[in-house]
Amino acid sequence: MENNVTWAHSNARQIIRLAIPAKALRLLPNFEDRRMSIEVTDHGGLYWLFECSIRQNGPLRPVLACRNWLAFVRLWNLNVGDTIRLYRERHQFRGVEFKIVVQVAG
């Protein structure tokens, strides 16, 4: 099973309230409810706690929309067209870890 998903922002709203492709659900632990917190380390080594939710009705589409996500957007100066890569890796001592990498457009 592939352990990463990559996507680009197509509009400013996606930057503020990040809609993650549905294929990313395979990376995340099972949602017991419609919300979950995921611990992520970015490409600069900073630790983030993001709130992820899925719709109650309609197609499952995970969304990151929390104060920490906005701080991440501001810190890395995300813009339309930048690419985000979320991936999961197994760490010998800590178990599964999530990483997020930003690639600036251009």
Enter the pTM of the model. Answer: 0.74
Third-level CATH fold of 4-103: At1g16640 B3 domain (2.40.330)
Structure confidence at residue 45 (pLDDT): 92
- For the stretch 25-45, pLDDT in tens is 777 766 667 777 888 899 899
Phi, psi of 103, rounded to the nearest 5 degrees: -120, 120
Domain ranges for the chain: 4-103
CA–CA distance, 27 with 36 (Å, rounded to integer): 13
- Asked if 40 and 46 count as a contact pair (C-beta separation under 8 A), the reply is no
With 70 as the cut, is the pLDDT of residue 84 above it?
A: yes
The CB density around residue 38, as the number of other CB atoms within 10 Å, is 18
Give me the mean pLDDT over the 54-81 stretch: 79
